Chain A
Amino acid sequence: MGPLDNFILADDALQATPTGFTLQFHSHWYRSLPLSCMSCKAIINGQAIDESEVFIEANGNKYPFSEMPNLYKEWLFITDGARLHVNGVEPLQKGKQYNIEFKLDLFIPYILVGREGNPLLASSTVTKQLTCN
C-alpha cells in the first residue's frame, strides 16, 4: 500500500559482494521518512536472511540492521535508495537470476490511527526475479 509500490526494487537492485550481497530498495511513500519509520524483510530464493548479519546503509552511513528502529535522524530522501548489506551467506553469482521477496513496512509518523493512536502502517511486498550485478 503506497503510491509508489512498483518502484521499491529496481532491476539493478541486487549486487554480489565478496561476503554476500547487497540489495537496494526505495521507499514507496510520497515523502521522505527516517529509517526508524521503516522495517523490512528480504527472502532470497525462498531463504529468509539472517538479520544478525545485515547492515543498513543510507546517505553513505552504515548501521547494524537491529539499530533501524532508533535511526530517527537518518532520513531517506524519496529519490535515494537504502542498501541492505547481507553478509555470512554464500556470495551470489553475477549474471545469475535470483527470486527476491521483499517486504517493506512504513510507519507513517504523522498519521495516527485506531484507538491506540499507532502510526499508519503502509506495507508493501514485492516479488521480483533479479539478475545479480
Chain B
Amino acid sequence: MSNHQIKRGVSLYSYQEEFFLQKMSLEDCIAAVAKTGATGIEILGEQSIWGFPKLTDAFVDQWFGWMDKYGVTPVCHDFMLDYTMTKGKYYSDDEALQSIIRDLKFAKRLGFKIMRAIVNITPELMEKAAPYAEEYDIKIGIEVHSPWHINSAWMARHWEVMEKTGSKYLGFVPDMGAFTKRLARVQTDRMIREGADPKIVEFVCEQHEKGIMAEYIIAQVSQMSKRRIDIAVAELTRHNTYYNPIALLQHIPRIFHIHAKFYEMLDDGTEYSIPYEDIIQILIKGGYNGYLSSEYEGNRHIQDVYEVDSVEQVRRQQEMFKRLLGEEVAPNKKSIVVQA
C-alpha cells in the first residue's frame, strides 16, 4: 500500500530536440511518455501544437484518440504572455487577460485541468484571471522558477492574492530548478568547451555548492578574470539557485503541479544537480497529490558534441521517481553519453 498519491507525468518540452529535428512526431512523444509508465501529459501549446491556438475538430479527435491509445491524460498546458510582439508596443492588462482566456479555451478543448502561468505574470492579472479559471474549471499556477523560490517576495505577493480571493483555482507550479544544489555539469562542461577556464569553473561550482550568494561569486570571479566567458560561468549562479525544498511543505495545498526539471541523469539513477531524494520525501510528507512532470533541459548543453537522447534521459528520471515513490523499478541501462 502506497503512502502517497503522487502521480508521474512528462512535459513534451523534454523531447524538444528530437521533435524539432522531426525524429519524433507529436504522437511519438506521447508514446514515449507512456512507455516510461508515466500517465500525465504536459505541453507548451506554442511548441507542440501546429497552428496554436487554433484547433481543428479533426486534431482534437486525434488528440483524445492518442490519450486513449496510450493510456495517458492531459494534465497541464504551460501558457506564456507575449507582452511585446511588435517593437515598442506592450500588452495592456486587458490584452494580457484576453491572451489567458484564449489559452483557457485551448486547454479546455484538449482536456487539460491545469495551466502553468509564466513567472512574470503580475498578482493583479492572476486576480483578474481567477473568475475565468473557475468558469473553465482549470487551475492556474504561477511557475515558481529560479531565481525565485516559493517564499520570495514576488511569490508572497501572489500568495496574498490567493488568500484574498480565496480562489481554489490559483496556486503554484514549482520548478525544481530552484533547488539546483550543484550547477549542471553538462552546462559547465560546455562552457569549458567554449573556452571557459576550468579552474574558474571549479571555483564557481564549489562556491555555489557552499551556498555563497551569486553576486559575491561574480565579484570574485571578476577579480580573477576579465574574460566574458569566465564571468558568464559565475553568472550561472544567479539563475540556478538553491533554496531548501522544505519551504514547499507549508504551501502543499496550493501546489497544483510540479516541473521536475533536470539536466543529467547519471548511470546510478540520480540527477546530478537537483536533490530529488530530499524533495520527494518532502512532497510525500506534505501529502502532495499532483504530478511530478519531467522537464528535461540538458539537450542544449550537449548537442554540440553528442547526439541528444531525451527519451533515455526521461526514462531514467522516471525510473528514479519510481524508486523514490516506492514503485517497482526496471533494471537500469548503461549510459550512452560519455562525459567530456
State the A residues within 8 Å of B (CB): 3-4, 6-7, 26, 30-34, 36-37, 69-70, 72, 75, 77-80, 107, 109-112, 117-119
Give the residues in chain B near A37, CB-CB below 8 Å. Answer: 85
**B19 in contact with A79 (CB, 8 Å):** yes
Residues of B near A3 (CB, < 8 A) are: 16-17, 299-300, 303
In the complex, the answer to whether A69 meets B20 with C-beta atoms within 8 Å is no
For the complex, is B332 an interface residue (Cβ under 8 Å from A)? no
The answer to whether B47 has its CB under 8 Å from any CB of chain A is yes
Q: In the complex, are the beta carbons of B85 and A72 less than 8 A apart?
A: yes
Partner of A72, one of B13, B50, B86, B300: B86
Interchain nearest-CB distance for B153 vs A (Å): 18
Contact B20 A112 (CB under 8 A): no
CB nearest to A27 among chain B residues: B20
Determine the distance from Cα of A33 to Cα of B82 in the docked complex, in whole angstroms: 9
Q: Are A109 and B84 CB-contacts (below 8 A) given A30-B47, A31-B44?
A: yes
Say yes or no: is B334 at the interface (Cβ < 8 Å to chain A): no
Q: Does the CB pair B47–A110 fall under 8 Å?
A: no
| Smallest CB gap from B13: residue in A | A30
6 new A-B contacts at CB < 8 Å, known A6-B304, A32-B46, A69-B86: A4-B300, A6-B303, A31-B47, A34-B85, A79-B19, A110-B83
CB distance from B321 to the nearest CB of A (A): 23
- Whether B82 lies near A7 (C-beta < 8 A) is no
Contact A77-B87, Cβ < 8 Å, known A4-B20, A110-B81: no
Complex alpha-carbon distance, A130 and B85, angstroms: 32
Q: Are B85 and A109 in contact (CB under 8 A)?
A: yes
Asked, given contacts A3-B300, A6-B304, A30-B13, whether A36 binds B86 with beta carbons under 8 Å apart, the answer is yes
Known: A30-B13, A30-B16. A109 touches B82 (CB 8 A): yes
Inter-chain contacts of A36 with B (CB < 8 A): 85-87
In the assembled complex, which residues on chain B have CB atoms less than 8 Å from the CB atom of A117? 90
| Closest-CB distance, A59 to chain B (whole angstroms) | 9
Query: A70 and B86: CB pair below 8 A?
Result: yes
- B residues apposed to A, CB below 8 Å: 13, 16-17, 19-22, 44, 46-47, 50-52, 80-87, 90, 118, 120, 299-300, 303-304
Given contacts A30-B47, A32-B47, is CB(A110)–CB(B22) below 8 Å? no
Select A112's contact among B46, B84, B303, beta carbons within 8 Å: B84
Q: How far is the CB of B125 from chain A (nearest CB, A)?
A: 13
Taking a contact as CB atoms under 8 Å apart, the answer to whether B46 and A31 are in contact is: yes
Q: What is the CA–CA distance of A3 and B83 in the complex, to the nearest angstrom?
A: 22
Task: Report how far A33 CA is from B22 CA in the complex, Å.
Answer: 18
Contacts of B22 in A (CB 8 A): 79
Q: How far is the CA of A7 from the CA of B87 in the complex (A)?
A: 26
Give the CA-CA distance A37 to B87 in the complex, in Å.
8
Give the distance in Å from the alpha carbon of A118 to the alpha carbon of B85 in the complex: 11
Rounded to whole angstroms, the CA-CA distance of A42 and B261 in the bound complex is: 36
Q: How far is the CA of A86 from the CA of B31 in the complex (A)?
A: 42
Closest to A73 in B: B85
Chain A residues within 8 Å of B299, by CB? 3
24 A-B pairs whose Cβ atoms sit less than 8 Å apart in the complex: A3-B16, A3-B299, A3-B303, A4-B20, A4-B300, A6-B303, A7-B20, A30-B13, A30-B16, A32-B47, A36-B85, A36-B87, A69-B86, A70-B86, A72-B86, A77-B50, A78-B16, A78-B20, A79-B19, A109-B84, A110-B120, A111-B120, A112-B83, A112-B120
In contact, B120 and A69 (Cβ under 8 angstroms):
no
CA distance A89 to B16 in the complex (A): 37
Chain A positions within 8 Å of B50 at CB level: 77, 79-80
Chain B residues near A107: list those with CB within 8 A.
84, 87
Complex CA gap A99/B84 in Å reads 34
Residues from chain A with a CB closer than 8 A to the CB of B118 are 110
A78 near B47: Cβ-Cβ < 8 Å? yes
CA distance A88 to B22 in the complex (A): 34
Q: Which residues of the other chain, A, contact B85 by a CB distance below 8 angstroms?
A: 34, 36-37, 72, 109
Return B284 CB to nearest CB of chain A, in Å: 32
Point out the residues of chain B lying under 8 angstroms from A119, CB to CB: 83-84
